[in-house]
A and B are shown apart, each in its own frame.
Chain A
Amino acid sequence: EDKVVQSPLSLVVHEGDTVTLNCSYEVTNFRSLLWYKQEKKAPTFLFMLTSSGIEKKSGRLSSILDKKELFSILNITATQTGDSAIYLCAVAHSGNTPLVFGKGTRLSVIA
């Protein structure tokens, strides 16, 4: 059975801290891994990763994929209260079949 497991489930940090969120997966015919950020509303797309070892970066956020060990990490440096959200990891596999989502990591950044 395909599955995506995120850890930790929740995390509380202080502003300025650096955090690492984890996503491991077991799916057949992996194609890509996606990260989303969900604040109060809909999930918004952050990154899509398809190749091992190539870091994707956007401001203070970065992500990398290890296809051999079947996991990805999302790093956030110098966290701000606006980073507080649920971060979702999803995996696309086997052509055009649906994404498989993890349960998310709830990040709270306190001042």
Chain B
Amino acid sequence: GESVGLHLPTLSVQEGDNSIINCAYSNSASDYFIWYKQESGKGPQFIIDIRSNMDKRQGQRVTVLLNKTVKHLSLQIAATQPGDSAVYFCAEKSTIQGAQKLVFGQGTRLTINP
């Protein structure tokens, strides 16, 4: 039969607007979270991280919010620029059977419209 590819959620925003990318994680025991940006043909690039003892962390133009109650993570990008167009992944670090794993979400494709 025909195979079904991974359909990435997409978000389109106007240049200069703010964008919010959401992520639901699975393991309530995860203690560290990272947002990565992946441009076409490149590896994931670190954007910002947050530990589970925090609920907000800010970087340059980016803010990560963590809601452990509902296991939800968000990435806010302020004043988006064309260079922000990419696929964004959240990742959670879990310890499973003694082994540390960085587990990635499916990703969200962000498109910046001029």
A and B are partners in one complex rather than unrelated chains = no
B residues sitting closer than 8 Å to A (CB atoms) are none
